[in-house]
Chains A and B, each alone.
Chain A
Amino acid sequence: MAHESTMRIYIDTESPEPLFAQLIEQIKSAVQNEQLTPGMPLPSIRQLANDLEVNKKTVAKAYGLLERDHVIQTKGYRGTFVHPNAVANSRVDLNAWVQSKITEAVASCKSAGATDSEIRIVFAEVMKHRNNGSEMK
């Protein structure tokens, strides 16, 4: 049987960047470079984790975040595929967006005279209430 060559993914276990982030970055980059095209199948979490000799939870986390960002999609038992709108969605950097929003909010609070510790305490409380709320649900 012929085994065609395909895109390969690399991780560096000694890099300060978390392993799941390395996976996400490379998959998004491959989508933008059209090495991965919409509809292409991806390896299962088990296969990729075994091949990279990493914990399955690491790959599951990467896949989970990519699925949240609509870069990949899981179709039940059929497996995981590149999302039809992956190219556009892979350009969205949610981390950068969150950072800009929080920077704006912090800047507003600071301009109103709030101290760093007040901002931290309120931020922690807001997060705590949100988490409690989602647990209640």
Chain B
Amino acid sequence: MTASFSTWAVLAVFYAVFLSQIVLISIYYPAKVRRRVLHILDHYPPDQYPKLYPDPLDIYAELARRTRLRTYRFVNLAIAALGLMVLAAMLVTAYRPDPKGGDEILVVIYFFVQMAPLIYAEVKEFNQYRLMRAAYSAPLRQADLKPRRLFDFVSPVYVFAAVVMYVVWMATYLFGLDPASPWSAEVVLSMIGVTAMNVLFAWAIARAIGGKKPNPHQAHADRLKQIEVVTKSLIFGSIMVSFFLIVTQLADQHDWEIFDPPLTSLYLQLAAVFGIGLTLRSIKVDEVDFEVYKEKAQEQMA
């Protein structure tokens, strides 16, 4: 089956979606993250909340963080400018997306460039937790005498939906295979890849629910909230991956590959919304218990 689309319509959709990707991931979320960190630095300083700053050079830590925040902002704005320049270059050179698809690789590469500052911030956060754990020495520890289970944190409906979407993708994928050579290396790798990704998600959820908490000082209620956010974002992530793969599979079967770049961009934006967006929306900084970071706060575990 073939379909023809107006080039202008395709380009309009692509430019709108790609512009949205630039704004959402390199301007909107970085600004929210920066405001959040600034709020913490302004309201919970090292002299009152020393356990929040395990860096041995605490005197300079706040200054260093503010400097890094400025760099974080600059880098994100530079990446946004790069994206706008790419869009401008496309306009100037009268870019036409390949009707057979494949141009989505540019969208994916740009997405990873956009995510680099966030990944850097995550690594710094992980290092901070590592320092907190190294400095942590509370003899009195406590734990909830109640099992934490998956459905305490996410509705069974979403888990069921994730399983169903995975099965539907598998069925769609197998149904669309070339009967002449159904089991090519690409097919096997795709099936192993998507299955492995879902197994990895399941492992990460199990680790969040039953594993050690990364931040040793974190209040119990905050930990439960964090587990809920991690669990939901991974379940939604699994649903979205399956949904995206089903849509691209159908696009391939109906010769709509020309829409692959905007579809990929849309998917990556949704991944950001359900990843970092869900975290920022669900864990409000004003609702986090910062009393646990005070010098004389009751040391507690779990």
Contact = CB atoms under 8 A, between A and B. Distances in A.
Contacts of B224: 3
Interface stretch (A37-45, A87-95, A99-107, A114-122): A37-45
B4 interface: no
Contacts of B141: 10-13, 51-54
A42 B209 CA distance: 15
Given A41-B147, A44-B147, A3 B139 contact: no
B146 interface: yes
| Most chain B beta-carbon neighbours within 10 Å: one of A43, A52, A54 | A43
Interface string A72-110: 000000010000000000000000000000000000000
Contacts of B221: 3
B143 interface: yes
B215 to A, nearest CB: 13
Contact of B143 (A3, A8, A12): A8
Interface string A48-66: 1011111000000000000
B210 A46 contact: yes
B144 A43 contact: yes
B145 A9 contact: yes
Q: Is the interface of A mostly helix, strand, loop or mixed?
A: mixed
Contacts of B212: 50, 53
Given A1-B153, A8-B302, A43-B145, 20 more contacts: A3-B224, A7-B144, A8-B144, A9-B143, A9-B144, A10-B140, A10-B142, A14-B139, A27-B145, A41-B147, A42-B146, A43-B146, A44-B210, A47-B209, A50-B213, A51-B144, A52-B301, A53-B141, A54-B141, A79-B147
24 contacts: A3-B152, A6-B144, A7-B144, A7-B146, A8-B145, A8-B302, A9-B144, A11-B140, A27-B145, A36-B145, A41-B146, A43-B145, A43-B146, A43-B147, A44-B210, A47-B148, A47-B209, A47-B210, A51-B141, A51-B301, A53-B141, A53-B216, A54-B141, A79-B147
